[in-house]
Amino acid sequence: MADSQDNVLNLLKKSEEFLKKKNIPSARLDAEILLADLLKIQRVKLYIDFERPLSLSEKDEYRERIVQRSKFKPTAYIIGKKAFFDSEFHVNESVLIPRPETEELVAWVLEEYPNKENNLEVLDLCSGSGCIGISLAKARKEWKVSFTDASESALEINRKNIQEILNTERSFELYHGDLLSPIPNETKFDLIVSNPPYIPESDKPSIMPDVAEYEPHFALFVSDFQGFHTKILTEAKTKLKPQGRLYLETHPRYSSWLKETALSLGYSQADLKKDLSGRDSFVRLIL
């Protein structure tokens, strides 16, 4: 029989203390997210039901989750999902965990295309979980959205998210290969939107262990930022319709370089946009 030490309140307190000792920065929040998901309730409901006792199996599973988090495994990977925009996405260690900054990129694109009747061809390049393209497709039912990624295991997660989030008869093309190389020659897009790998490998030592030890390095880091992004800009030019647009999330340190390089490659317009932290994290290029 469970005693008062096994209730929600006490287990949250113990877990928070344990995670703090392990230098987990968001100890209380993570303890709450992991427990609420385990109990299949909203996090706010924990506060309504502090005295609820946990069964032995629930305690064991919760303890295992807390131990994983203490080793810096991201909470999203432990529970297998992450909220992004207005949906919940399946994630595992094959894909990056969707970030709030990328929500800003999606919001920017939607702000620039408010007409829901427009029938646009859109590509989510380096799609990962598919969070960008799926969020755009959910908000703009008339858009034809395609996805491409170099990782087949990432595309499996992408497919699962399409099926569960969009729940529609619409068809979506998913291409497996390096950048735009798998896209058929005749296929052209009005918009290409991407959060490609952009962290220089030299920055690895400064990256938090949650990210550096668990998230897929091929989706995060580039050994040659300028060479890799020149390839993106060059290939995108061949896949954009006249006046087509390329939206990129990028490293603020390189945003001005991206703008100048795009103009030198023949794009007609290049604009930077700041994120909510005031950094030039987004670039819009018009052919």
Task: Enumerate the known binding-site residues for S-adenosyl-L-methionine.
Answer: 149, 195
Question: Which residues, other chains included, contact 31 with Cβ-Cβ below 8 Å and sequence gap of 6+?
Answer: 12, 15, 16, 19, 66
Residue 91's region, left for phi above 0, alpha for psi from -120 to 50, else beta, is: beta
Is the CB of residue 121 less than 8 Å from the CB of residue 106? Answer: no
Binding residues for substrate, by number, are: 195-198
DSSP state letter for 150: S
Binding residues, by number, are: 149, 195-198
Is the CB of residue 73 less than 8 Å from the CB of residue 97? Answer: no
Q: How far is CA 160 from CA 131, 156, 253, in A?
A: 11, 6, 34
Pick the closest to residue 102 from 249, 263, 271 (CA basis).
249
DSSP state letter for 105: H
**What whole-number distance in Å separates Cα of residue 61 and Cα of residue 56?**
9
Q: Which residues pair with 174 in a beta bridge?
A: 147
Is the CB of residue 166 less than 8 Å from the CB of residue 219? Answer: no
Report helix, strand or coil for 258.
helix
